[in-house]
Chains A and B, each alone.
Chain A
Amino acid sequence: MSILVNKDTKLVVQGITGRDGKFHTGRMKEYGTNIVAGVSPGKAGETVDGIPVFNTVAAAVKATGANTSIIFVPAPFAADAILEASEAGVALVIAISEGVPIQDMIRVTPILKQNGTLLIGPNCPGLITPGQALIGILPAMIFKEGNIGFISRSGTLTYEVVNLLTLNDFGQTTCVGIGGDPVAGLYFIDLLERFENDPDTKAVVLIGEIGGDAEEQAAQYIAEKMTKPVVAFIAGQTAPPGKRMGHAGAIISSGSGTAEEKIAAFNKAGVPVAKEPAEIPVLLRQKLEGLK
Chain B
Amino acid sequence: MKIHEYQARQIFRDYGIPVPDSVLCYTVSEVEKAAREMNRMVVVKAQVLAGGRGKAGGVKLARTIEDAVAAGKQILGMDIKGYTVEKVLVADAVNIAKEFYVGLISDRNSKSVTLMVSAEGGVEIEEVAKETPEKIIKFHINPLTGLLDYQARNVALELFGDIRLANKAASIFTKLYKLYVETDATLAEINPLVLTPDNEVLAIDGKMNFDDNALFRQPKILAMREPDEAELQEIAAHEKGLSYIKLDGNIGCMVNGAGLAMATMDMIKLYGGSPANFLDIGGSSNPQKVIDAMNILLGDKNVKAVMINIFGGITRCDDVAKGLIKALEIIMTDIPIVVRLSGTNAEEGLELLKQTGLPTVSSMSEAAKKAIELSKR
Contacts and interface: CB of A to CB of B under 8 A. Distances in A.
Interface string B277-291: 010100000000000
A160 interface: yes
B212 interface: yes
Given A142-B343, A213-B109, A101 B364 contact: no
A106 B108 contact: no
Contact of B314 (A139, A217, A249, A275): A139
B311 A107 contact: no
Given A157-B259, A245-B278, A107 B364 contact: no
B342 A275 contact: no
A76 B217 contact: yes
B113 A180 contact: no
A245 B311 contact: no
Interface string A248-280: 111000111001000000000000000111100
Nearest to A23: B314
B86 interface: no
Contacts of A7: none
A75 B184 CA distance: 15
A286 interface: no
Interface in B239-259: 243, 245, 247, 255-259
Interface on chain A toward B: helix, strand, loop, or mixed SS?
A: loop
B126 interface: yes
Contacts of A240: 245, 247
For A163, A210, A236, the residue with the greatest tally of chain B CB atoms inside 10 Å of its CB is A236
Nearest to B214: A101
Contacts of A255: 126
Interface residues of A, number: 62
B258 A247 contact: yes
Given A159-B343, A163-B342, A238-B265, A107 B111 contact: no
In this complex, the interface size class of chain B, counting residues with CB under 8 Å from chain A, is 35 or more
A127 B108 CA distance: 22
Given A100-B213, A141-B344, A245-B245, A237 B269 contact: yes
Nearest to A155: B257
A110 B261 CA distance: 34
A229 interface: no
Interface string B149-183: 00000000000000000000000000000000100
A250 B262 contact: yes
Nearest to B368: A276
A109 B143 contact: yes
A243 B237 CA distance: 15
Nearest to A157: B259
B243 A138 contact: no
A82 B363 CA distance: 38
A182 B266 CA distance: 22
B144 interface: yes
Given A102-B106, A139-B313, A254-B126, A160 B143 contact: no
A182 B280 CA distance: 19
Contacts of B212: 244, 248
Contacts of B109: 212-214, 217
A196 interface: no
5 contacts: A109-B143, A156-B255, A160-B311, A239-B278, A276-B267
Given A103-B143, A209-B259, A209-B262, 5 more contacts: A75-B213, A102-B186, A106-B111, A106-B112, A245-B261
Top 6 A-B pairs, shortest CB-CB distance: A154-B259, A246-B258, A156-B257, A157-B259, A139-B313, A101-B214
